[in-house]
């Protein structure tokens, strides 16, 4: 299934009007619910001084609550809130002096990852994919105590149920990406990723 944003040229024009020629970096963090994507995203934001955008802000407006907590939302909902997020990118980049935006989401389907890649190419954004992973047992332990679940769209119990659903549906990541194992110390892993991104910018 192909997913395309029909107004991508209009979005690109907004970037051009803001500041043509500026290099912008979009970090997309993929992984199962409960593995610690948001924790990694916040550490990336701290080290890069970039902007971490919470996509749940848009997701809450698009997806019925019962779908969010009980099942994987259908592709048409996912396409809608991904598209809305992409349309918001020009505004998000105006809020970061270093021109780095970080978004964490499951991104479990390769077709949607491809949609983001194609959008970033059309918008002249440097995209960096990161996959967050963690041992299932540790995920379960963290969710039982509600570790780092503040402001999440899913409760700990809901997150582990959805975690299992997504594990069956998660398609292996293709193409260049880096991996963070949240069962290990996160800070040095993020430091290596930030260094890698900096080297690519040189």
Secondary structure (H, E, C), the chain = CCCCCCCHHHHHHHHHHHCCCCCEEEEEEECCCCCCHHHHHHHHHHHHCCEEECCHHHHHHHCCHHHHHHCCCCHHHHHHHHHHHHHHHHHHHCCCCCCEEEEECCCCCHHHHHHHHHHHHHCCEEEEEEEEECCHHHHHHHHHCCCCCCCCCCCHHHHHHHHHHHHHHCCCCCCCCEEEECCCCHHHHHHHHHHHHHHHHC
Domain of 191, in residue numbers: 21-201
Residue 28 maps to a domain: yes
Q: What is the pLDDT of residue 155?
A: 66
* Local confidence band at 46 (pLDDT 50, 70, 90 cut-offs): very high
Answer yes or no: are the C-beta atoms of 180 and 190 closer than 8 Å.
yes
Q: What is the pLDDT of residue 158?
A: 73
Average pLDDT over all residues of the chain: 89
**CA angle at residue 12 from 11 to 18, to 5 degrees?**
95
In a domain, 7, yes or no: no
Separation of alpha carbons 151 and 142, rounded Å = 16
Most confident by average pLDDT, 167-171, 186-190, 196-200: 186-190
Of 63-72, 120-129, 193-202, give the range with the top mean pLDDT. 120-129
Q: Is residue 2 part of a domain?
A: no
Question: Quick one: angle between helices 136-144 and 156-169, nearest 10?
Answer: 160
Residue 8 in any domain: the answer is no
Residue 174 lies in a domain: yes
The answer to whether residue 5 is domain-embedded is: no
Confidence of residue 141 (pLDDT cuts 50, 70, 90): confident
- The tokens 């105006």 sit on which residue? 94
pLDDT at 142: 82
Asked if residues 143 and 33 have their Cβ atoms less than 8 Å apart, the reply is: no
Task: Report, as an integer, the average pLDDT of 106-110.
Answer: 95
Give the per-residue pLDDT at 71.
Answer: 75
Tracing tokens 């944003």 back to the chain, one arrives at 5
Find the range with the poorest average confidence among 18-27, 167-176, 180-189: 18-27
- Counted domains in the chain: 1
- Would residue 15 count as lying in a domain? no
The reported pLDDT for the residue numbered 202 is 46
Which bin fits 37, alpha (ψ -120 to 50), beta or left (φ > 0)? alpha
Q: What is the pLDDT of residue 147?
A: 56
User: Against a cut of 0.85, is the pTM above it?
Assistant: yes
Q: What backbone torsions phi and psi does residue 70 show, to the nearest 5 degrees?
A: -120, -20
Question: So what's the pLDDT on residue 73?
Answer: 84
Residue 35 reports pLDDT greater than 80:
yes
* Average pLDDT for 8-35: 92
Say if residue 144's pLDDT is above 70.
yes
Structural contact between residues 130 and 47, judged by C-beta atoms closer than 8 angstroms: no
CATH of the domain at 156: 3.40.50.300
């Amino acid at each position: 299934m192909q997913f395309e944003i029909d107004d991508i040229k209009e979005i690109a024009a907004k970037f051009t009007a803001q500041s043509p020629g500026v290099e912008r970096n979009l970090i997309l963090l993929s992984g199962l619910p409960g593995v610690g994507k948001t924790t990694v995203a916040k550490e990336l934001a701290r080290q890069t001084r970039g902007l971490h955008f919470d996509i749940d802000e848009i997701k809450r407006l698009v997806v019925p609550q019962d779908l969010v907590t009980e099942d994987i939302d259908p592709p048409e909902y996912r396409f809608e809130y991904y598209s809305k997020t992409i349309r918001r990118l020009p505004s998000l980049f105006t809020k970061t002096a270093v021109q780095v935006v970080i978004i964490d989401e499951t991104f479990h389907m390769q077709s949607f990852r491809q949609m983001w890649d194609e959008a970033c190419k059309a918008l002249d954004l440097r995209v960096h994919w990161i996959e967050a992973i963690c041992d299932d047992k540790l995920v379960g332990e963290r969710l039982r105590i509600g570790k780092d679940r503040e402001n999440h769209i899913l409760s700990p119990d809901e997150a582990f149920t959805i975690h299992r659903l997504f594990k069956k549906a998660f398609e292996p990541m293709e193409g260049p990406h880096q991996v963070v194992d949240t069962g290990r110390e996160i800070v040095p892993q993020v430091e290596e990723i930030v260094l890698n991104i900096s080297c690519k910018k040189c």
